[in-house]
Structure 1
Amino acid sequence: MNIGLTGGIACGKSTVAAKLVQLGAILIDADVIAREVVLPGTPGLQQIKERFGQEVLNEDGTLNRKALGSLVFGNEVKRLALNAILHPLIRARIESRMTEEQLANPDKLVVVDIPLLYESGYEVIFEQVMVVYIPRDKQIERLMSRDGYNIEEAESRLHSQMNIEEKRQRADIVIDNRGSIEATEEQIETFWKGIAFE
């Protein structure tokens, strides 16, 4: 069985992922894969260099994320061009890793952690989607205390993602993370007990 794991910024997705792994799930992290597909020698890095130029590389040939970020930030055409390079590579790698893990471990739950799962149309590749939920006002509070953002910065970060209420409505499984860590863990354990492997 596989599930896609997502949520909004500061919802506590990493905590939920860690608990699932502790219970025996296999975790595939889309952020790690996104870094893998642009390592030196990969077609991803080559395509980025061809599209954006040598200045997006460090002296050692690795991707200069800061330079690339400043090029695409606020430029919709360049951002879409970058996504057109990266998204197919990331998706292909995720699907291939999921298949490998499910064949090697048919009795284990494969969890794929994807921050922008709905925004990127990934829900179709999973049997179920789990959303880690906290209300928007709590997201803002946590962003401000955790990352030191002011209210405008926190709002701006949230604005770049799909609204958490919409994610919650679309989810197959919702983990409500606004209470204590124990309450969150209890929900995960209840979900875990409900999974029946043949």
Structure 2
Amino acid sequence: MLVIGVTGGIGAGKSSVSAILKELGAIVIDADLIARQVVEPYKPAWLEIKEAFGEDFLLDDNSLDRKRLADEVFLSKEKKHILEKIIHKEVLAVIKEKLAAMREYGYKGTVVLDVPIPVKEGFLDAADKVWVVVSDDEIRIKRLMKRRNMSREDAEARMSSQLTQDEYKALAHEVIVNNGSKEELEKNVKELYNRLLADFEAAYS
């Protein structure tokens, strides 16, 4: 089983790369999706967040008030750390469980770990190769303004709250520059993936 970790800053195109790999036959484990699932009402992460932040951060249906929570942690590094620690622990457990199940089943294909925050445990130490997706800052800002309806100020703030692109690059086996068209990205990803598959098969044949 080949495990590729795909990461990168917001607006760089990480999810686009994962989607291309999915079209090529890989199974994608999406950490963002898991993070939304583990905070559903009455799940362990939800209980911990309620305990740490209080019931003021719940909506009428007991789901998390995501916007209010995001605003709260944006203003406090300490609270951001608390929230991330709670969620990461649960996301990590799910990722480990999924990978273990696939290995036990004898899956021989490719698994993609689509992870926005490249933590060591469960991502860097689980991936055979780490691909980092980068884009020019101005391109990222325009994508966020268009696709997520953010203001320029919000986009810049979200970007600055993450690792710098150089910090992401330092973790990479491969860096994918996504400044062009969707077709260019597809071509680059397919070439890189085919090369990796050939190397992987040669190493284990």
TM band (smaller chain): 0.7 to 0.9
| Corresponding residue number in structure 2 for 1:163 | 164
Q: State the distance in 2 between where 1:15 and 1:143 align.
A: 14
Judged with a 3 Å threshold, the aligned counterparts in structure 2 of structure 1 residues 149 and 89 are, in CA distance, closer, same or farther, namely closer
Matched-pair identity in %? 37
Give 5+ residue unaligned stretches, structure 2. none
Equivalent residue of 2:125, what SS?
helix
| Corresponding residue number in structure 2 for 1:175 | 176
Equivalent residue of 1:170, what SS?
coil
Partner letter of residue 131 of structure 2?
M
Equivalent residue of 1:125, what SS?
coil
| 1:119 positional shift | 9.0
Partner letter of residue 9 of structure 2?
G
| Corresponding residue number in structure 1 for 2:77 | 76
Equivalent residue of 1:175, what SS?
strand
| 1:62 positional shift | 2.1
| Corresponding residue number in structure 2 for 1:51 | 52
Total equivalences in the alignment: 198
2:6, 2:114 within 8 Å by CA — same for their partners in 1?
yes
Q: TM-score, normalised by structure 1?
A: 0.85
| Corresponding residue number in structure 2 for 1:89 | 90
Equivalent residue of 1:8, what SS?
coil
Partner letter of residue 111 of structure 1?
V
Partner letter of residue 35 of structure 1?
R
After superposition, the C-alpha distances for 1:64-120 in whole angstroms (9 at most, x for unaligned) are 223333433302332222223222111111121122234335221100111122599
Q: State the distance in 2 between where 1:17 and 1:185 align.
A: 11
1:102, 1:108 within 8 Å by CA — same for their partners in 2?
no
Does 2:123 align with 1:125?
A: no
Judged with a 3 Å threshold, the aligned counterparts in structure 2 of structure 1 residues 105 and 25 are, in CA distance, closer, same or farther, namely farther
Q: Tell which deviates more after alignment, 21-30 or 39-48.
A: 39-48
Does 2:11 align with 1:10?
A: yes
Judged with a 3 Å threshold, the aligned counterparts in structure 2 of structure 1 residues 142 and 128 are, in CA distance, closer, same or farther, namely same
Q: State the distance in 1 between where 2:136 and 2:36 align.
A: 30
Q: Tell which deviates more after alignment, 30-39 or 111-120.
A: 111-120
1:7, 1:167 within 8 Å by CA — same for their partners in 2?
yes
Partner letter of residue 87 of structure 1?
H
Q: State the distance in 2 between where 1:73 and 1:152 align.
A: 13
Give 5+ residue unaligned stretches, structure 1. none
Q: TM-score, normalised by structure 2?
A: 0.83
Q: State the distance in 2 between where 1:163 and 1:151 align.
A: 18
2:92, 2:122 within 8 Å by CA — same for their partners in 1?
no
| Corresponding residue number in structure 1 for 2:32 | 31
Partner letter of residue 166 of structure 1?
E
Q: State the distance in 2 between where 1:177 and 1:105 align.
A: 34
| Corresponding residue number in structure 1 for 2:189 | 188
